[in-house]
Chains A and B, each alone.
Chain A
């Protein structure tokens, strides 16, 4: 009982704080970007496992480029942003080269990408800056925070919604952009067609290789954006443990939403809620281990619930077909 009252007390203490909601929006954003990166690749049936690695590498590149042109004063963060997106896109392209031209299993390519990028980023950091853990010796600066006019003057809502880093807003806007891209454009249709049935797409003259490559390049660029978010918004430097599994959480969120941007955004916000809660609740007497595991446990439970739900839906659909049309299904698919 003591634990339950403690939990209730903590929740009631935390939910009244505007900074809690600010943290939810902020901490969900990089995961959202990573999840969107995975989503477009997933829709093209080219699972991009390497998002974590792409994020790591582009986070470092952003900091290095930014500081080399002179940091905050000289607009370094913006150049860093551009460079990181380019590097991310290039790494995405590299995944496609290995997976589709050299015919290596795409999951393995993704894992290799994560391992290489983790190692190479530390190596590059040491070679270029002499530091091995963080780049705090470089002054790379951050992207600007944006105060939204009108909204910023509303008492509590302004505090929550205004004053975020520009990439936070970009991340949430990208949800709509991605929906539009996937479901309303020619490219989106082709990506989905290739993802659903490659042979059928090929038969009407779509080059699945091209479409998958394009999807992975966009995926890499989004991963790059997620990396920049970590090293130029969340923190003002790169460190070797900076990404801390956010690419993988994004991958999980993407699978939970089966590549659907709207649902993905909700999953990321759910993660953000529990992540934010775990940070605020560390002041209470609750076990910190349980608290820190909470966001990840929520993702896991979410994935399980979702897969059971989709399975049941599929079964029902098949049973419906059976009774209506008297079709004989010896066995429901999957």
Chain B
């Protein structure tokens, strides 16, 4: 018995090692120290070094992957001037602070990119300790009045504007005049999504009922499925699934009801289902509210190169510039008429030129 266990364990480990090595995407090192060893021999003194700190892992198919893509673009287009690496802090939030501290302490990087609400407090502390370290903080409001830092910029995606557009589309697609928002946890960013969504829906049809539901989780897909089932069975026919991988459960629920739709979030989830061969889910996904973190990072880096980036302030990235928007897939084109799609474009243009002012939760 012992032998069997030993052999099994050995097989498991060897297999793990082999599989890791043959992986197509090279896993970046989580240890800043190792990264240093790797980069030191290169004559990279004049290169701008960027550390993208992911407080999670790659492979979420939306937020962090999009940011990683932005890093890849920077490496591809500005490989002679810049070098971007990613650190995955994994989902164990107890280690985030020490890992982030390591990145700061190494003093290897010209720019550290870090973001989301959970990282705000520790970043506020660390940026005070390292006043010469440039930091891009994304996806959460940085209060420059209470925490003035001239080494920090804050990149905020105007999810309310993107949500306005998809809310408008949801109202267009709804036949029951009853749509809902299925959020992860009720924080300000998610509230901002809802504010825009509701306003957009009401702009198309003032009488529409917009329900606000919460899953209270970003990871429990079964909860997402149940909450969405509850909505669908009460006459809701479009749900905006807005909560990380918990939101994926909403798509499962949609499969069980006829004539209902889902709106994806962060990435183009309709195309994602299409690529995964899940056509049934792709056909339920009328659009996705995309948050183009990749574009945001890329353009901000261009500004950094030009020297036009001003530290110590918030940059708000909205529909204007294509940082947020609604993804168009073949399902979108089947569900909406060309005239309706034109109307959506007009709405986007309206937001971009400022003639439509979108509510915000901030």
Chain B interface main SS type: mixed
Tell me if A's interface is mostly helix, strand, loop or mixed.
helix
Specify which chain B residues have a CB less than 8 angstroms from the CB of A19 in the assembled complex.
229-230, 233
A180 CB-CB contact with B under 8 Å = no
A134 with B245: CB separation less than 8 A: yes
* Bound-complex Cα distance A27 to B121 (A): 38
B59-A234 in contact (CB<8A): no
- Do A132 and B59 have beta carbons less than 8 Å apart? yes
A218 to B246, CA, bound (A): 31
Choose one: B24, B59, B222; the contact of A242 (CB below 8 Å). B222
Chain A interface residues toward B at CB < 8 A: 17, 19-20, 23, 27, 97, 123, 126-128, 130-134, 136-137, 139, 230, 234-237, 239-242, 244, 275-276, 279-280, 282-283, 288-289, 292
Binds A, one of B150-158, B212-220, B298-306: B212-220
Which B positions have Cβ atoms within 8 angstroms of A?
1, 15-16, 19-20, 23-25, 57-61, 91, 180, 186, 211-214, 216-217, 219-223, 225-227, 229-231, 233-234, 245-246, 248-249, 252, 273, 276-278
In the complex, which of the residues A17, A240, A241 has the most CB atoms of chain B within 10 Å of its own CB atom?
Answer: A241
How distant is the Cα of A92 from the Cα of B276 in the complex, in angstroms? 34
A239/B221 in contact, CB under 8 A = yes
A237 to B272, CA, bound (A): 15
Q: How far in angstroms is the closest Cβ of chain B from A237?
A: 8
Q: What are the nearest 3 A-B pairs in CB distance?
A: A241-B219, A132-B59, A19-B233
The reply to whether A23 and B229 form a contact with Cβ atoms under 8 Å apart is: yes
* CB pair A131 B249 closer than 8 Å: no
- A23, A132, A276 — most chain B CB neighbours (10 Å): A132
A27 vs B229: C-alpha distance when bound (angstroms): 12
Nearest CB on B from A235, distance (A): 5
B78 → chain A, closest Cβ, in Å? 28
Measured CB to CB, the nearest residue on chain B to A14 is B230
Residues from chain A with Cβ under 8 Å of B273 in the complex: 136
Contact of B221 among A17, A97, A241, A292 (CB under 8 A): A241
**Would A137 and B276 be within 8 Å (CB), given that A19-B229, A19-B230, A235-B221 are in contact?**
yes
Determine the chain B residues whose CB is within 8 A of the CB of A97 once the complex forms: 1
Q: Is the CB–CB distance between A17 and B23 below 8 Å?
A: no
Cα distance, A20 to B232, chains bound together (Å): 12
B177 smallest CB distance to A (angstroms): 15
Q: Contact at A288–B214, with CB atoms within 8 Å?
A: yes
Tell me if B234 and A136 are in contact (CB < 8 A). Answer: no
Contact B231 A283 (CB under 8 A): yes
Query: Is A134 a contact of B248 with CB atoms below 8 Å?
Result: yes
- Please tell me if the beta carbons of B225 and A139 are within 8 angstroms of each other in the complex: no
The reply to whether B19 and A128 contact each other, CB–CB distance below 8 Å, is: yes
CB-defined contacts of A131 to chain B, threshold 8 Å: 59
B226 contacts A230, C-beta separation under 8 Å: no
> Is the beta-carbon distance between B222 and A230 smaller than 8 angstroms?
yes
